[in-house]
Every structure is written in C-alpha cells, then in structure tokens.
Structure 1
Amino acid sequence: METKPTEIGSSKMFGGYNKRYKHFSPTLGCSMTFYIYFPPSPSSSSKFPVLYWLSGLTCTDENFIAKSGAQRAASSEGVALIAPDTSPRGLNVEGEADSWDFGVGAGFYLNATQEKWKNWRMYDYVVKELPKLLGENFPLLDTSRASIFGHSMGGHGALTVYLKNLDKYKSVSAFSPIVNPINCPWGQKAFTNYLGSNKADWEEYDATFLISKFHDVSATILIDQVRGDDDKFLHDQLLPNKFEEACKNANLPLLLRLQPGYDHSYYFIATFIDDHIRHHAQALSLK
C-alpha cells in the first residue's frame, strides 16, 4: 500500500495551487485524502510555513478549500494551507455512519481507546503522521514553522492539539469551537464511544480543562463566535463563556470576538478568514 502521497487533483487560485493528495495512513489503517494550498513560489529559496485547518462535523478535506476563500490571504502572506479529512473512511465499522455527529466525518481529533473504534486516531494523524509526511515529501514546506486553526469540532481539535503541543505550533485560532466537550451533548456522545467512561480520559481532549493547566501560552488565542442566538449550537454545544472564564482564571491571552448576525456556516468563516490568516502569519514571523 502506497504511503507516499499521490496527487489526485490540482487547480490554480490566486497565483498558487490547490492540490489534493491521497495516501495510505498506517495510523488510521485506511486511505486518506488531504489538500495543500501552495502560494505562488517565492523568488528566493525560502520555504513556506504551514497552517493546518481542522474541519467540523460532516466535513471532508474539500469543504474548507472550496468554501472559505482562505487562499487569497494565504497567497499574499506566503502561507501554505493544509486541510486533512475529519475521520478514517472506508473501514465499514458497524455503526460508523448511523449519525452525522459520530463516526465517519466526526473523528473529534482524538485517539480512541475503545477497541471497536481503534482506527479513530485523528490526533496522532494530525500531530505526528501528517507533519512527517509533509516534511518528507514536499520540499517547499517548512513544517517546523506551523500554526493551527479550525471550525466547530475542528476548533475543538485545533485548541486541544495546540495546548498539548506548544512546542510544535506558533499560534491557534478557531471559529465557533466546541471548547468544553465534556459538558455538551456532541462531546459526551463522542467521548463515551471513543474513550469509554473514564472522565479523566475525556479531560485530555477538553480545551477548557486543558487551559487551566498551562501558564506559558504566549501567542494570543483568537476565537470568532457568533453573538446571540443566530448560531443555534451556541448555548448547548459550544459554550465559549466556559473557555473565556478558564483563560481569565489562568491569565492567558484570549481575543474572543462576538460577531452579530452570522450563523454556524462557511459564510461566517469566509467573512473573517483573512483576519485569521494574518493572525497566524504574524505569529509565523512573516510580517
């Protein structure tokens, strides 16, 4: 089985290229696809820093590339965008597609400990396998300069991955993230099935819990969240106030922007994506 990535699609955009790749993932035990947006090549021999995007429930690697419009700012800032899929696919585990908020398209960026879901190791895929794969196969990418961001379930993933690997990522941001999954229905369902009943295991993937353990976060955490009831998931699933309170208690830098009138969709993401790209470009010492 071919572990080296094979290009399966390419389209030019803002002077750079969206390129889609397929490879076999030993971590997940199946074939996976991911996108890289390569900005226009620099005139010098310098490499591009990388910015990982983690998508939300039901998404594949294609949603962000097709809908966010992030390529315009990434092109001007000279940042490569990396968009992996959200779960293993094609394993035909019983029940994997029974609901939209668990299983296929809903990996929650954790390492499952329950035998049935043993292939759901998206945390190791994002943090270990994918950066190694990129570093070995794409000479234009500088994987030592990396940041991470995401949306909803992917916002949860970005925050937890960042907080558990402060040495690997320069900055983090999120749109409408699930910040306190141990206290919301989406998180409780996923964690019970993937991790079992031990709540201590759940806490390892809860950004609000993790933030209380850290005092050396230097880069400001940027979160854009819809203000009020226009995001129907705000009060039951997202709980941004919990994370804000935890950051205040830990005296850690958080910029939580409440944006009125938007919803939980890519229309919201596309509106503010340039701010997030610039936030990370600054942390990656490009500007």
Structure 2
Amino acid sequence: MKTLSENRCFGGTQGVYSHTSDATGTQMTFGLFKPEHATGAVLWYLSGLTCTHENAMTKAGLQGWAANAGLSLVFPDTSPRGESVPDDDDYAMGQGAGFYVDASQGEWARHFQMESYITKDLPEVVFTAFDLDDTRQGITGHSMGGHGALTLALKEPTRYRSVSALAPICNPSASDWGTPQLTAYTGRPASHDATVLLTDGAHLPPALIDTGTSDQFYDKLGTAAFAAALAETKSEATLNLRRGYDHSYFFVSTFAPDHVAFHAEHLA
C-alpha cells in the first residue's frame, strides 16, 4: 500500500492510499478517515455513478460526524481504472460505473470484480494496515452506491452489522439504471437486485434508507417496489421519503448525521 496524502481533519486524519488489487488486477485508490478517538468500528461508503473515491470524501461532510462517533470511514473507488480497463460511452457503464458486482461476461470479466474488491480485497488491505475491528463493520452509499450497500449487506449477512442508503437504486432489474449494465456485466440482473434478493429470503441487517420526493431520478430508483418488499418481509428497516429533496450531494450531506448516528448505535 502506498500513501498518496494524509491531512489533519476534525482532529483525525483523512488519508488517500493506493494499492495493487488482486481482485481487479489494477491499481486502486481509496480514502480512509480515522478519527482521533477511533473506536475501531468501520463504516464503508460506496459512491454513485461517475464518482471516484474522492466525491463523498470532499462533499458529504461525513468526517465531522464520524469523528464525534469514533467511526472510521472508508471511501473506495467505484470501478477499476486504467488504459487497459474497458470503458463505454454511456456514463452508466464501464469506468466509474462498476455497480459493485463481479462481472462474468465478455471483456468486463477480467477487471470488473468490484464485489470481491469491496468484500474481500480492500478489507484485507485496510485491516492489515490500520488498527480497526473487522467484527464491527457497517456499510452505506448513495445512488449506485446505495444499490451496492443494500445488495452486499443482503449477500454478506454476517459481515455488516448495519446498512444504510441514500437515494439507492433498489430495483435495478426493472430500471435502465441497472438492467443494461447488470446484463452486460453478469447476464443476471435479478441476482443483484435488492428488492428481488429481499423477496427471495435474503436477510437484511438493521437498515436506514432515505430518498427525496423531488429526486429527478426517482423513477429509476425502484423505491416503491423496495418499500413493498420491506413491508412483505417485515424487515428491520426504516425508509424515509424526504419531502422536496433531490439526488444531489446537498441531500446526502443533509442526512449524513442521521446515517452516521444510526451506524454508530449498531457498531457500538
């Protein structure tokens, strides 16, 4: 692992690091905020389409709230990158749009192994390099990252004690923010759909979901279908429809304190 930068932040340290990933076969970059009085608990933040590790790190304002709670934050990238890595003219496909799945189809299969990267490869690096507690992990994310947080929590029920999502894509097999991409990557969109996974019996840890009623992409998110699945399965989850809020980072930063507090409670 190579240190790219480290800066004082809310009494702790906001670092940016790179490493060679066995999962993606590329160099990957991630951010990690460690508060001054870290409890050892870790919250993974997954960003949305077109983002890098840097977006939430600089826009969401999570570090101040995490410092108060003693939570360390990890900000992974959203896909592998590099000249040898496949890409697409569609912003919702290719670099910056890994959808947090392991690709098995065509040219994508070589590098786009983001599920393995987030759940195996990067944790091994993080828990080796930093004094953190791998038994106290939560996961959150925005938009495509919310999709990733929900699906990875459903697939890895013993890894994460808590999950939250802001404006998540939560029914991608019924949306053009999911069906084309997950078909191209895996051939099986429904296998990576939080609504389908939940309905089919996967266990969701304690969950908090916030979505704005004025979200310009609301029709792509599948919020109503996911709400119905939560009700049907009697899951331990709170879903809030926030009146007048859109899809931007202003929405994320507004409700970041609620999400950090939620995870701090479950990771104590």
Matches within 5 A, 1:107-146: 107-118=98-109, 119-138=111-130, 140-146=131-137
1:226 to 195, 204, 212: 212
Per the alignment, residue 263 of structure 2 pairs with: 280
Alpha-carbon separation, structure 1, partners of 2:155 and 2:44: 15
Q: When the two structures are superposed, what TM-score results if normalisation uses the length of structure 1?
A: 0.90
Contact 1:39-1:79 within 8 A present in 2 as well:
yes
Alpha-carbon shift at residue 218 of structure 1 (Å): 5.0
Alpha-carbon shift at residue 173 of structure 1 (Å): 0.4
Per the alignment, residue 7 of structure 1 pairs with: 3
Query: Which residue identity does 2:159 align to in structure 1?
Result: K
Contact 1:12-1:18 within 8 A present in 2 as well:
yes
How large is the Cα RMSD of the aligned pairs? Answer: 1.3
Corresponding position: 1:103 with 2:87: no
2:170 to 161, 179, 182: 179
Alpha-carbon separation, structure 2, partners of 1:28 and 1:218: 28
Structure possessing the higher radius of gyration over alpha carbons:
1
Per the alignment, residue 89 of structure 1 pairs with: 81
Q: Share of identical aligned residues, percent?
A: 42
Per the alignment, residue 254 of structure 2 pairs with: 271
**Structure 1, unaligned runs of 5 or more:** none
1:19 to 15, 20, 24: 15
Contact 1:215-1:251 within 8 A present in 2 as well:
no
Alpha-carbon separation, structure 2, partners of 1:251 and 1:195: 29
Alpha-carbon shift at residue 41 of structure 1 (Å): 3.6
Q: Deviations for 1:158-204, whole angstroms, at most 9, x for unmatched residues? A: 000001111000000000000000000020110121113xxxx3222
How many residues are paired up? 267
Alpha-carbon shift at residue 231 of structure 1 (Å): 1.1
Alpha-carbon separation, structure 2, partners of 1:175 and 1:85: 17
Q: Deviations for 1:45-64, whole angstroms, at most 9, x for unmatched residues? A: xx511100000000000001
What SS does the corresponding residue of 2:137 show, helix, strand or coil? strand
Q: When the two structures are superposed, what TM-score results if normalisation uses the length of structure 2?
A: 0.96
Alpha-carbon separation, structure 2, partners of 1:93 and 1:215: 32
Query: Which residue identity does 1:53 align to in structure 2?
Result: Y
Query: Which residue identity does 1:233 align to in structure 2?
Result: F
Alpha-carbon separation, structure 1, partners of 2:201 and 2:264: 24
Contact 1:244-1:254 within 8 A present in 2 as well:
no
**Structure 2, unaligned runs of 5 or more:** none
Matches within 5 A, 1:31-46: 31-41=27-37
